[in-house]
Chains A and B, each alone.
Chain A
Amino acid sequence: MKTKRGKSALAALLAFGLFVAACSSGEPTDTTEAPEDTTATTEAPTETTEAPTETTEAPAAGGGIVTSYIGEPEWLQPPNTNESEGNAVLSALFRGLIDYNPETSEPEFTGVAESITSADEGLTWDIVLKDGWTFHDGTPVTAQSFVDSWNYSAYGPNAAQVSGFFSSIAGYEDLQCGTVTEPDPDTGEDVDVADCEGQPPASETMSGLAVVDDLNFTVTLAQPETFFMTRLGYTSYYPLPEAFFADPAAYNESPIGNGPFMMDGSWEHDVEIRTVANPDFAGEDPAQIDGLTFRIYEDVNTAVNDLMAGNLDIVDFVPPERVAEVEAAVPNFGETASSSINYLAFPLYDPAYQNPDVRAALSMAIDRETLVNSPIFNGTRAPAFNLQAPVIPGYQETVCDNWTYNPEQAAALWESSGGIEGPITVWFNSGAGHDAWVEAVVNMWSENLGLDVANVTFEQLDFADYLPLIDEQGMTGPFRLGWGMDYPHPQNYWQLLLYSEFVPPVGSNSTFYINPEFDAKIDEANAQADINAAIPLYQEAAAIACADTPLIPMFFGLNQYGWNDTVDGVYVDAFGNIVYTDLVTTG
């Protein structure tokens, strides 16, 4: 449960396997709709007395300081930040090699990189930096700052949480510790455990990283990856100043970045994180406000209350059930597309779900449009007829008929395929607000397929129990999952979720979908140097997957945020982060 904004599902999902680790960080959005559900029962009461109310003496009115909601981050350093809250702070404190366009999510060279090129279709990359960038402590940002940062994150004994992001770089294996097989203290099952003392890594630096000069370094990948550049704006790839390596723990309390904002004092845990504009920022888009204060709340509902009372400027994540209230009570409300998707996956290893017609019937019996517009979501979600989010290049509104609503054909397929005999179990993680829509889905199956609801049971598990069971092929019926992007690229959805080599525990192909035709198409698409050439191939792969229906896309998330009149220029990008440099005060 790394995330506070109802993203826990995703985050937890990602904690497994290397791609997963990658994802948990990148994805900021959604997947669990009712964050207050979980917190309300356990710790919410403690929250109300929290600091935010005390710190209101510096509201945005004229002071040039903007206050924004955040949950308590886990870490404030690129090697370990893989959850949304730390990610939000770091994206204000740092600027990576590239930046993403807030609206299209396309890479833009407004970061440290002058150019990122590959002469050999994605195997080696030449990265040239702009001159004049400095860290907040005045030291220059050099090629070494990036290489050291990446090596540190990849080095096994550092146990960095984002290590998996670097696995595609040549020599990554040499930085990993050997493993020993030991029984897990909880389950008693044998698992591989890193043994850094007995079997230390062979090297401290990845052979694929080479510094050419202060402003130039090269990256050699283990395998060609044409979209490698697309990843480089992500938190994990930020540079680190020398001060970090001297004392990573101290650094964590007062991180030094190279971004438009810099720390003002140190991280006051559970209270706030204060930043001020960086006067020496080398980018084209410096901060327009004097400072930005992240107020830390344990319960987003408390933040929403503060927002409505005018004690807080921005809440960038309004829970769906409070949207109507916020829209009415707060002067400004915004809604943008996010990269998250919720889907129902089939356990393809279960004999009952091996007939594609059965799966197609279940998918076509769901009226997603009515679902998202019903009072369950009140239009706070967008219906999904595709697995990749609309913010990702190559999005098509529909992929094939199997992922659209077609009750007649669903009933016919259900009839001809014999449907499913006996009880049906639907799985989802508990306490995250999924019960209502899952129940609605089951009702639609009942209505359109004639399936008996009395035969249906729900299995609700804690996320911590839910994900391991998915990896162990423990699902006995359709199960809910969520996904959000690490980097805006179709590969981040199609390959990570459906490619045969990415079945757990290595990856997130939790349906255990295996189709060589699909794999071949993905391989072909990945090999294209030009994204425009790759997109039709990804779309063909998507059509193959859709015809097989290993999963049912349900709905896409939307960022919903509100702000008071004290601030303007508020925009939340597809990653779920506010575009901090656009903020202006109006006081």
Chain B
Amino acid sequence: MTDITSKPPTEAVLAPDVATPEVVPAGVPPKQGKPASLWSDAWKELRRKPTFVISAVIIIVMVVMAAVPTLFTSVDPRECSLLNALQPPSAEHWFGFDLQGCDYYSRTIHGARNSVAIGLVVTFFASLIAVTLGSLAGYKGGWIDSSLARLADIFFAIPLILAGIVLLNALGSKSVWTVSAVLIVFGWPTMLRLMRSSVLSVRELDYVDAARALGASDWRIITRHILPNGITPVVVYATITVGVVISAEATLSFLNVGLQLPAISWGLMISVAQNRILEAPHLLFFPGLFLSITVFSFILMGDALRDALDPKLR
């Protein structure tokens, strides 16, 4: 998509932008007093990408929907009458009614909250764990690295959904928090691996050596040099993870081990719909559509970010 000529400069600029005080870059010197950072470069590029713009708009809409559902519907999703049960979509009720006779449009809108909240919370904490431990492992190496890597391998070997089913069944109580906790516990290993390998490659670079030679502390090297330059793969992966987590939550709820009624969530809605797919296909269609669009947007966003932040992978 983007012009190939911009590729070498971007790479070369990688190091200098954050390492200006200590490092005289080998490549092209900054053109202006304030050099273009990796992030601002990426932003410039992203603004022009339709995939990014579309996915960003959808994500913003979904997040707003999760935060303030009443902006989209004034109908109370809890106001139900069995007399309306399973009525198909109509001009007045766009999405029809569910088995309980609740307005399905309103339910679908309100269902965004749990899904999006779990997606963001899980990804945030899982990334936090992964970045912290990953940089430690990659930078320190030695036994810390080996033990953390093995630990990650152990968790990595356990399939997320299987672990979720087993753990949530054992836990008994199933709220947004327990579901999030379980997904966090099993969600960080991949990102830790990414972070670690990224740190491993960054820490051998000249400007890190230079910083070390100038007497910078480990803390400063990690926070000022390694993290900013090594975090991009994790940022990209985390964006995609939001989508993956949302669909994992839906899967767990579908399997009756995630959120429980009377909570409102897309996964639960799909779960209720499954037995009546012929009778009332709209019950499956709408939450399924919202779920797919949301997951798809995060994955698209992740792709766009990767293209912009990590040109080598393009």
Contact = CB atoms under 8 A, between A and B. Distances in A.
A565 interface: no
A376 interface: yes
B261 A439 contact: yes
A442 B279 CA distance: 24
A442 B275 contact: no
Interface string B72-95: 000000111111011000000000
Given A436-B272, A440-B100, A370 B83 contact: yes
Contact of B260 (A444, A446, A458): A458
A374 B83 CA distance: 7
A79 to B, nearest CB: 36
Interface stretch (A161-169, A449-457, A574-582): A449-457
A374 B85 contact: yes
A282 interface: no
A431 interface: yes
Contacts of B79: 446-447
Nearest to B255: A41
A375 B78 contact: no
A12 B167 CA distance: 25
Nearest to A430: B256
A497 B194 CA distance: 61
A453 B262 contact: yes
Contacts of A454: 78
The interface centre, meaning the residue of A375, A436, A460, A461 with most chain B CB atoms within 10 A of its CB, is A375
A270 interface: no
Contacts of A34: 275
B101 interface: yes
Interface string B240-274: 00000000000000011000111000000000100
Nearest to A444: B82
A114 interface: no
Contacts, number: 61
B44 interface: no
A457 B85 CA distance: 22
B261 A447 contact: no
Interface string B267-295: 00000100110011000000000000000
Contacts of B172: 461
B309 interface: no
A442 B262 contact: yes
Interface in B10-46: none
Contacts of B83: 370, 374
Nearest to B80: A443
A48 to B, nearest CB: 19
B199 interface: no
Contact of A453 (B78, B81, B85, B256): B78
A371 interface: yes
B261 A443 contact: no
Contacts of B99: 374-376, 436
Contacts of B261: 435, 438-439, 458
Contacts of A461: 172
B101 A446 contact: no
A401 B81 CA distance: 23
A518 to B, nearest CB: 33
B82 A456 contact: no
A457 B78 contact: no
Given A436-B99, A447-B79, A375 B262 contact: no
Contact of B82 (A440, A453, A457, A458): A440
Interface string A56-90: 00000000000000000000000000000000000
Interface string A441-479: 011101100000110111011000000000000000000
Contacts of A447: 79-81
A374 B82 contact: yes
A103 interface: no
A437 to B, nearest CB: 10
Contacts of B78: 443, 446, 453-454
Interface in A33-70: 34, 41
A375 B256 contact: no
Interface in B83-118: 83, 85-86, 99-102
Contacts of B80: 440, 443, 447
Interface in A98-135: none
B256 to A, nearest CB: 7
B15 to A, nearest CB: 52
The interface centre, meaning the residue of B78, B272, B276 with most chain A CB atoms within 10 A of its CB, is B78
A440 B78 CA distance: 11
A335 interface: no
A443 B100 contact: yes
Given A443-B80, A453-B78, A454-B78, A375 B85 contact: yes
Given A436-B99, A440-B100, A443-B80, A431 B256 contact: yes
B275 A321 contact: yes
Given A436-B99, A436-B272, A440-B100, A376 B82 contact: yes
B85 A376 contact: yes
A460 B257 CA distance: 10
A582 B83 CA distance: 41
Given A375-B99, A375-B276, A431-B256, A439 B82 contact: no
A375 B82 CA distance: 8
Contact of B100 (A431, A439, A456, A460): A439
A383 B172 CA distance: 32
Contacts of B279: 375
Interface string A134-151: 000000000000000000
Contacts of A375: 85-86, 99, 276, 279-280
Nearest to B77: A453
B177 to A, nearest CB: 13
Given A436-B100, A453-B262, 4 more contacts: A321-B276, A435-B272, A436-B99, A436-B272
Interface of A: 34, 41, 321, 367, 370-371, 374-376, 430-431, 435-436, 438-440, 442-444, 446-447, 453-454, 456-458, 460-461
18 contacts: A34-B275, A367-B82, A374-B101, A375-B85, A375-B86, A376-B82, A376-B99, A436-B99, A439-B261, A442-B262, A443-B82, A443-B101, A444-B82, A446-B78, A456-B262, A457-B260, A458-B262, A460-B260
